[in-house]
Amino acid sequence: MRAEEKRGAVGRSIPRLEGRAKVTGRAEYVHNLRLPGMLYGKIARSTIAHGRIKRIDVAAAQAVEGVHRVVTGADIRALIPDPHYGPAFHDQPILALDKVRYAGEPVAVVLASDPHVAEEAAGLVDVQYEALPAVYDEVEAMTSKAIVHEVLKPAGTFPDLKHFQGRKNTNVALDFRLRRGDAEAALKKADRVFEHTFRTQQVLHVPLEPFVSAAEPGDGTLTIHTASQSPSFVRTEIARLLEWPESKVRVKVPYLGGGFGAKLYIKLEALVAALALLVRRPVKISLTMEEQFYTLTKHAATLRIKSGVAKDGRVTARLCEVWWNGGAYADIGPRITQKSGFTAPGPYDIEHVHIDSYALYTNLPPAGALRGFGIPQLVWAYEGHTDMIARELKMDPVEFRRKNILRDGRPQATGTVMQDAAIDKVLERVAARMDWGKPFDRGSGTVRRGRGVVIGFKAVIAPTTSVAIVNLYADGSCALYCSTVDMGQGSDTAMAQIVAEILGIPIESITVVHPDTEVTPYDMATLGSRSTYHMGNAVRRAAEDARDKLLALAREVGVSVETTPIAEVFRRKYGMQAGNIIGSGSFIPTYMPMDHDTGQTANATPFWMVGATGAEVEVDTETGRVRVTRLVNVADVGTPINPAIVESQLSGAAIMQLGFTMSEKMEFSAGQCTNASLAQYKIPGLLDVPEGMENEAVDAEQKGGPFGAKGVGETGTFGVSPAIANAIDDAVGVRLTSLPLTAEAVYRALRAKQGNPLKD
């Protein structure tokens, strides 16, 4: 029997369950939602980066015909005495209170039945500020006199943030440290020492569906319809703010038009909840594409990395310092600082490692998770550094990596012993696909060609919980209740495949019930490539539970499920088509917290993601323009549940990171974003996608993963930026250490190399 004809569903490239609904415009999104009596909210935003609010005059806005009400922070505080939210720190006010901390921060909301009226009036809200000194640079923020938050207020969720409680006069929101061996001493003994500093820029997720939330008050209840990646967190946090039981807050999430880490935790949900309760009517806020620039971004970072290398090319010591520019509110930045920070030395076997990783507050739009959770920033530094060392040592960069990579059974910087991380295999496959050992056409004239190979890795965030319910109906069809959000990554299809595989039923007979906290069970969130592994395991267990109950039922009525249709088993039991079988499953992996002073733990993560990128480029030496002609993405994703979806996840992630590498950058003037629109902030289009785009999942298995699978959503992002920078260096001998790799940056570097720098 050919593989496609097997009954089994796992391992097959089954087309997306929702594909037809999406391309025919029938899929449900919050933007399409209209509730009876609904008011639209439009946000008036801060025009300065840091300042005290002296006065808010809403009279002109209130006077616009059709305006229902203008709401400020003071109104919110009357309803919720401490209206601050956030996953790591309770630092973000629902509307600005007393002061503003970034240009674009919500200060007031105008409510009206007509969104155009609300928008018109929002422009008339008059706010007077007393400007305060501001800080924008993450390294300056370490010592700046400008302090973003007077007092730090950890959320209490994370033990490693407790010591920040009540801390004053600091912009540091986490100071993660890892100490393994004695890096300082080892550096002194090393034959060669290399030190480089790298920078990354602030960029944006740009989901094509901007943020949108609606809240509907009931009789002592509240229903929130929201484009969120974390419905369970939204319910918990709203219930906490309102001091209500969780059972009185209902959060519903249909499809998302992209999330990428932006739509996590609280975004508009607390605001619409408070507004709806204030006016006792449903309230909806739909951001414009432009407003997304003032909501959540990806951390800019400065990364200093220093290595000691022995004569034979072994890296013996590494010292990493990372400063993460978290913007005005911490969001999940402190977790990035730690959970990604501990991989800062890269997938290398290094005896002596010191890491200092700092989460900083600045007066810029907040930064949080973005497809890779800090990993692309780290890989940008350590893989640039790796190539620069190899070049200095006159070693082949792939050979240099071979000599130093971390292999299964060896301890990572945390002390956790590596398992099921196909680092060597991924490196070998990308080198093979790039024909690394063979001669390479280096171009001629004004077009020079080069290539680069890099490798990166990530530990999935831990420990997190997923719960799933499988409801087997009396006709043999079935519903899967799970709070994983399908935001385009194909989770509905993958989860249904797991159920189909275990119950042996056609995938078409399975309905995936979308997140609704009153219906679907808890899930930590759809983030960090965790769903396939965590929810996949919960779904597998729920389906196995249902199967076991079905087998028991069959035994009870004296039939075999091998020969009897499921519907017949139910009929035998209930005398007609009636009844349900409910299977449930939950999953939390094992984990051991890190030692606070050394970052050491025997169990840092349930699984590692490994991604390598190979890039070939053409550089126009007269203009500095770079054309990426080939991009090869190789990953260890365990055993794919759905190979076609895995491939599109790898290529989609790589194209997204290609934009962050070549063109995307939020520009600021005095803290004000000056290119807050898609006309001025350029994401890649089809013509920017390299002609040669190759994706491969290596043959691998993740033990403990459902059917050997693990996460894939972020892996394609890891290596794109340094692979291209390394290829540019290979082509024309210039090294860029800041992103993006614009033509002008390359051109200026070429001129500087010729001893004839471009004068402004």
Partner 1 sequence: MTPFELLEPRTLREAAALLASGDATVRPFAGGTAVMLMMKMGVLRPTRLVSLRAVEKQYSGIGAGADGALRIGAMATLSALERSPVIRNEAPVIARTLRTLSNVRVRNVATVGGHLAHADPHMDLPPVLIALGASVTTVDAAGGRTIPLEKLYSGYLETSLGRGELIAEVSVPRQAPRRAAYLKCTTRSADDWPALGVAVVLDTLRETEGAAVREARIVISAATDTPTRLAKAEAVLRGARVDDAVLQRAGDAAASEASVIGDAHGSAAYKRELLRVYLARAVRAALAGEG
Specify whether the CB–CB gap between 728 and 716 falls below 8 A: no
Q: Is 685 in the site for partner 1 (CB under 8 A)?
A: yes
Dihedral (C-alpha) 680, 686, 688, 691: value to the nearest 10 degrees?
Answer: 180
Cβ distance to partner 1 smaller for residue 157 or 742: 742
The closest of 181, 452, 178 to 308, measured between CA atoms, is 181
Cβ distance to partner 1 smaller for residue 35 or 64: 64
List the one residue from 29, 84, 119, 618 that touches partner 1 (CB under 8 A): 119
Cβ distance to partner 1 smaller for residue 114 or 568: 114
Q: Is 747 in the site for partner 1 (CB under 8 A)?
A: yes
3-state secondary structure 249-266: EEEECCCCCCCCCCCCCC
List the one residue from 21, 417, 551, 758 that touches partner 1 (CB under 8 A): 758
Cβ distance to partner 1 smaller for residue 484 or 717: 717
Q: Is 680 in the site for partner 1 (CB under 8 A)?
A: yes
In the bound complex, what is the minimum distance in angstroms from residue 674's beta carbon to partner 1? 8
In the bound complex, what is the minimum distance in angstroms from residue 675's beta carbon to partner 1? 6
Q: Is 106 in the site for partner 1 (CB under 8 A)?
A: no
List the one residue from 7, 20, 116, 188 that touches partner 1 (CB under 8 A): 116
Q: Is 677 in the site for partner 1 (CB under 8 A)?
A: yes
With tokens 């539970």, the residue in question is 545
Span of 135-143, 195-203, 621-629, 714-722 interacting with partner 1 by CB under 8 A: 621-629
Cβ distance to partner 1 smaller for residue 121 or 510: 121
Cα–Cα separations (whole angstroms), residue 224 to 119, 210, 274, 676: 22, 17, 11, 28
In the bound complex, what is the minimum distance in angstroms from residue 385's beta carbon to partner 1? 27
Helices vs strands, H then E, count in the chain: 18, 30
Cβ distance to partner 1 smaller for residue 248 or 748: 748
In the bound complex, what is the minimum distance in angstroms from residue 572's beta carbon to partner 1? 59
Q: Is 55 in the site for partner 1 (CB under 8 A)?
A: no
Specify whether the CB–CB gap between 515 and 252 falls below 8 A: yes
Q: Is 163 in the site for partner 1 (CB under 8 A)?
A: no
Q: Is 438 in the site for partner 1 (CB under 8 A)?
A: no
In the bound complex, what is the minimum distance in angstroms from residue 204's beta carbon to partner 1? 14
HSE value, Cβ hemisphere, 13 Å, CA-based, for 234 = 35
List the one residue from 663, 704, 735, 738 that touches partner 1 (CB under 8 A): 663
Q: Is 692 in the site for partner 1 (CB under 8 A)?
A: no
In the bound complex, what is the minimum distance in angstroms from residue 743's beta carbon to partner 1? 5
Q: Is 165 in the site for partner 1 (CB under 8 A)?
A: no
Cite the active site residues.
714
Q: Is 603 in the site for partner 1 (CB under 8 A)?
A: no
The closest of 741, 726, 718, 608 to 653, measured between CA atoms, is 718
Binders in 390-409 for partner 1, by CB under 8 A: none
User: Residue 63: helix, strand or coil by DSSP?
Assistant: coil
Span of 325-333, 373-381, 449-457, 661-669 interacting with partner 1 by CB under 8 A: 661-669
Binders in 276-305 for partner 1, by CB under 8 A: 288, 290
User: Residue 116: helix, strand or coil by DSSP?
Assistant: helix
Q: Which two tokens mark 316?
A: 């013996």
Q: Is 743 in the site for partner 1 (CB under 8 A)?
A: yes
HSE value, Cβ hemisphere, 13 Å, CA-based, for 255 = 20
In the bound complex, what is the minimum distance in angstroms from residue 688's beta carbon to partner 1? 5
In the bound complex, what is the minimum distance in angstroms from residue 304's beta carbon to partner 1? 28
Spatial separation of the C-alpha atoms in residues 204 and 223, rounded to whole Å: 29
Cβ distance to partner 1 smaller for residue 597 or 760: 760
Dihedral (C-alpha) 674, 734, 313, 435: value to the nearest 10 degrees?
Answer: 100
User: Residue 616: helix, strand or coil by DSSP?
Assistant: strand
Element (H, E) at 746: helix 743-753
User: Residue 362: helix, strand or coil by DSSP?
Assistant: coil
Q: What is Dmax (Cα atoms) for the chain?
A: 90
Cβ distance to partner 1 smaller for residue 140 or 688: 688
Helices (H), 504-612: 531-557, 566-574
Span of 245-253, 306-314, 316-324, 741-749 interacting with partner 1 by CB under 8 A: 741-749
Q: Is 60 in the site for partner 1 (CB under 8 A)?
A: no
Q: Which two tokens mark 638?
A: 């365990």
Cβ distance to partner 1 smaller for residue 184 or 667: 667
Q: Is 755 in the site for partner 1 (CB under 8 A)?
A: no
Spatial separation of the C-alpha atoms in residues 339 and 741, rounded to whole Å: 27
In the bound complex, what is the minimum distance in angstroms from residue 125's beta carbon to partner 1? 14
Cβ distance to partner 1 smaller for residue 122 or 712: 122
Cβ distance to partner 1 smaller for residue 128 or 677: 677
DSSP structure class, residue 416: P
* Pairing assessment for the beta strands 297-298 and 367-368 based on DSSP bridges: parallel
Burial class (CB in 10 A: 0-12, 13-18, 19+), 640: buried
List the one residue from 27, 35, 395, 683 that touches partner 1 (CB under 8 A): 683
- 12-15: which pairs have CB atoms within 8 A and are 24 or more residues apart? 12/497, 12/642, 12/643, 13/642, 13/643, 13/644, 13/645, 14/493, 14/497, 14/507, 14/642, 15/493, 15/644
In the bound complex, what is the minimum distance in angstroms from residue 25's beta carbon to partner 1? 17
In the bound complex, what is the minimum distance in angstroms from residue 37's beta carbon to partner 1? 22
Binders in 631-660 for partner 1, by CB under 8 A: 659
Q: Is 559 in the site for partner 1 (CB under 8 A)?
A: no
First-last CA distance in the chain: 69
* Cβ contacts of 218 within 8 Å, gap of 6 or more: none
Q: Is 682 in the site for partner 1 (CB under 8 A)?
A: yes
List the one residue from 688, 693, 704, 735 that touches partner 1 (CB under 8 A): 688
Q: Is 549 in the site for partner 1 (CB under 8 A)?
A: no
Span of 428-436, 546-554, 602-610, 737-745 interacting with partner 1 by CB under 8 A: 737-745
Specify whether the CB–CB gap between 299 and 62 falls below 8 A: no
Tell me the number of residues near partner 1 by CB under 8 A. Answer: 32
List the one residue from 477, 675, 693, 735 that touches partner 1 (CB under 8 A): 675
Q: Which two tokens mark 759?
A: 């004068």
List the one residue from 18, 75, 120, 729 that touches partner 1 (CB under 8 A): 120
CB count within 10 Å of CB 680 equals 11
Burial class (CB in 10 A: 0-12, 13-18, 19+), 248: middle
In the bound complex, what is the minimum distance in angstroms from residue 683's beta carbon to partner 1? 7
Residue 417 dihedral angles phi and psi, to the nearest 5°: -80, 130
Q: Is 622 in the site for partner 1 (CB under 8 A)?
A: yes
Contacts with partner 1, residue ranges (CB under 8 A): 116, 119-120, 123, 288, 290, 622-623, 625, 659, 662-663, 667, 674-675, 677, 679-680, 682-685, 687-688, 742-744, 747-748, 758-760
